[in-house]
Amino acid sequence: MARRSSMLLLLAAAALLAVGAGAAVPPSCERIECPAYDVVDNANGFEIRRYKDAMWVSTAPIEDISLVDATRSGFLQLFKYIQGKNAYNETIEMTAPVLTRVAPSDGPFCVSSFVVSFYVPAKNQADAPPAEGLHVQKWAGARYAAVRRFGGFVADADVGKQAALLDASLQGTRWAAAVSDGRKADPASEYTVAQYNSPFEFSGRVNEIWMLFDTMAASDM
């Protein structure tokens, strides 16, 4: 019995490490389509990914104090879009992750700006249906992301801490300058929150903080 309990504890610890390290593909991507990427680097506290061409449908900026509330509002717009509220009246399959791009405010009680995005399935990317109030964004060529994974339900109190931990883990690495340049190139985006699960899934949840950039670190080019 003691040996079995020890084995269960080891398996649980391994699962937690996998979520923390972000090395494994999120389980939801085994069920629904996710954008393709290659892992360029995987170190303590972060993963560097190279994303391939990808099409996203995004909301207009949503001004709100709460990331959680803004994501919910944006997702409702995107859910109507995939249910057929688009120029082609076309139903589109659900994908993952749903992204929330964050431009934080200067203070804890000030309004921030959020853009919520849906990854367009491969079969729709050649001609993604337009829709009123939404815009299509194409990642042409390689796009890179520094990524930190965390579990549970996303909470407003947690995302800033997770972003700070990702930023701290990058300091002193060859990726720090590239990520910093990416922020300067896109001042409207400090970081992005990626959520992979339905709100009705209560266990095994996977979320990520992304810091996007377009240029590889000089030592890896």
Q: 50-75 in b/e burial notation, b at 16+ Cβ within 10 A? A: bbeebbbbbbebbebeebbebbeebb
Q: Please name the residue that has the structure tokens 């990642």.
A: 139
In terms of Cα–Cα distance, which of 161, 147, 150 is closest to 192?
A: 147
- Residue-number span of the structural domain to which 32 is assigned: 2-220
The beta strands (E) that lie in the chain are given as: 37-43, 46-51, 54-59, 62-64, 98-103, 112-119, 134-139, 143-150, 191-195, 207-213
Q: How many domains does the chain have?
A: 1
pTM: 0.85
Residue 214 structure tokens:
């377009």
CATH code (residue 40): 3.20.80.10
More confident residue, 219 or 160: 160
pLDDT at 104: 84
**Tell me: the pLDDT tens digits for 1-52?**
444 444 333 333 333 343 444 457 888 999 999 999 999 999 989 999 999 8
Chain segment 169-215, per-residue pLDDT in tens = 999 999 999 999 988 888 778 899 999 999 889 989 999 999 999 87
Q: What is the pLDDT of residues 89-143, one digit of tens each?
A: 999 999 999 999 999 877 666 889 999 999 999 999 999 999 999 999 988 778 9
The DSSP secondary-structure symbol of 133 reads T
| pLDDT tens readout for residues 63-72 | 999 999 999 9
